[in-house]
Structure 1
Amino acid sequence: MIVLWFLLIIILSVLTKWHANYLMKQQKYYITKLIVTISCAIQLIFIYALVKEIIRYLTQILNVFYR
């Protein structure tokens, strides 16, 4: 699941960059800002899910040392 979150974050970043460059060539600056802002919000959710998965494994690893 961790790999899936990494891939989703990378794919979203690449698609956002491609779409932003396309819109900048057409001089649509406000739409570009909107697309980048929405992408950042979605990536924030993806990063939250990624950290949640990483913490789950970290607690299992630290639990081994605790016992």
Structure 2
Amino acid sequence: MYSFVRRANTTKASLDLDDFTQALVRRKLLGNDKYLSGVESGSEVFRGSGRLDTKAYSVDIG
């Protein structure tokens, strides 16, 4: 399992997961013959305190 950390506050994000998988391939952490089998979203506070309110979460495959 690999994690990517967003370092900016935001109220909305739209991400292309291929960018993340290709970054892992370039770093030789993932073979280019592998595929994505799941997507998770969550929060982790690294400093101080924080809160995440998620109103919507979706994944488009195509």
Q: Same fold (TM over 0.5)?
A: no
TM normalised by structure 1 equals 0.29
Instruction: Point out the structure with the larger helix share.
Output: 1
Give the TM-score taking structure 2 as reference length: 0.30
Higher relative contact order (CA 8 A, sep 6+): 1
> Which structure is larger by alpha-carbon Rg, 1 or 2?
1
